[in-house]
Amino acid sequence: MGGLAGEAVDPVVSFPFRVGRTERVVTAGSCFAQHIARYLTEQGFNHYIAERPHTVLREEVAREHNYGMFSARYGNIYTARQLRQLLQRAHGRFVPKEEYWLKGERYLDPFRPQINPGGFHSLEELRRDRKQHLERVLHAFKAARVFVFTLGLTEAWVDREDGAVFPICPGVEGGTFSPDRYAFVNFSLAEVLLDMKLAIQALRRLNPKLKIILTVSPVPLAATAEDRHVLVSTTLSKSVLRVAADTLSREIANVAYFPSYEIITGNHAQGRYFDRDLRSVTEEGVRHVMRLFFQHAAEEGEAPVPAKAPSARLREEDAAREVAEVLCDEALLDPT
């Protein structure tokens, strides 16, 4: 690769299936998954939005309330256990004991604490919104032809009483932290594989023909609860997720891995696909990923994402930074 320009590197040798422009694509996962969802929409693919705002809600208000960020308003799903439990909750097979967090006088959903700016005015409002949300989650996966899921983290905080997993440590964005109530976990490879296999089984019971594309987020950890440097925790976490994705793609039919992680973090990029904070992925990097995605994973004849002039890239990077700052729960843990 040393003789190639960084943007010319293409690590995709083959891909087992293609995504059609009209096929319903459902997206979920960590912060990086938001870029995939955005590009699918911009390129005219059917990024299926199952949970839509009321027609009286202005477009800018709907965006502020995170409609359209993913196929349903589940926010970022960082771990395999979160995905598994989301499906259990949608089916009514798991009702977590932690029903809400308080932030001042407002109520937050512990499983999507940033989904409603400022929280909910009442517990009843939260309950109504959650009921509708979980109904739309089931609808999304029943209707989908393709599910793109980005694995992000292995570290999480859980409720000691029932094992419910949160997207962020209780007490950071709402609620009150108690070591007697909450525990830190760092899921092993075996645990990630089991959670993903059970989640895929649940998805295939809903939708036997569902095709699944797995990616691993290239975004490093903002912080770690392990007694070690965050660089070490990042390497372990991403390694576990990468091995899990590879194993699942080898063992389960119509499950494929797309190497967005390698495209962003590989030596060919020389670090330039990370922004000044050394975590956020630049628009140039996202464009490289999605150009190859449309080239290899889209139906023949679908137009790849064109290259942009440097000035256009800079404008888009400014916009991307604004989006990342708003929609990434984990960024709240960054001490800088």
Q: What is the pLDDT of residues 215-248, one digit of tens each?
A: 999 999 999 999 999 999 999 999 999 999 999 9
pLDDT (0 to 100) of residue 27: 96
Decide: 262 and 293 in contact? Cβ < 8 Å. Answer: no
- Which conformational region is residue 183 in: left (phi greater than 0), alpha (psi within -120 to 50 degrees), or beta? beta
- Per the structure block, which two tokens stand in for 169? 């440590």
Residue 318, pLDDT above cutoff 70? no
Q: Is residue 78 part of a domain?
A: yes
The average pLDDT across 299-327 equals 49
Q: Is residue 47 part of a domain?
A: yes
Residue 321, pLDDT above cutoff 50? no
Q: For residues 4 and 290, which has the higher predicted lDDT (pLDDT)?
A: 290
The average pLDDT across 160-187 equals 98
- Tokens 């989904």, located at residue: 115
- Per the structure block, which two tokens stand in for 39? 């590009």
Q: Is residue 134 part of a domain?
A: yes
Residue 130, pLDDT above cutoff 60? yes
Q: Is residue 292 part of a domain?
A: no
If one counts the domains in the chain, the total is 1
pLDDT (0 to 100) of residue 320: 45
Could you list the residue range(s) of the whole structural domain that residue 181 is in? 24-230+242-264+310-333
Closest by Cα among 192, 170, 200, 196 to 183 = 170
pLDDT band at 334 (very low <50, low <70, confident <90, very high): low
- Tokens 């409002």, located at residue: 125
pLDDT (0 to 100) of residue 244: 99
Burial of 303 (0-12, 13-18, 19+ CB in 10 A): exposed
pTM (predicted TM-score) = 0.90
User: In this prediction, what percent of the chain has a pLDDT beyond 90?
Assistant: 80
Q: For residues 224 and 327, which has the higher predicted lDDT (pLDDT)?
A: 224
Residue 286, pLDDT above cutoff 90? yes
Q: Is residue 188 part of a domain?
A: yes
pLDDT (0 to 100) of residue 306: 55
The average pLDDT across 68-82 equals 96
pLDDT band at 5 (very low <50, low <70, confident <90, very high): confident
Q: Which helix (H) or strand (E) holds 291?
A: helix 283-297
Q: Is residue 108 part of a domain?
A: yes
Q: Is residue 147 part of a domain?
A: yes
**Cα 124 from Cα 149, distance rounded (Å):** 31
pLDDT band at 317 (very low <50, low <70, confident <90, very high): very low
Q: Is residue 324 part of a domain?
A: yes
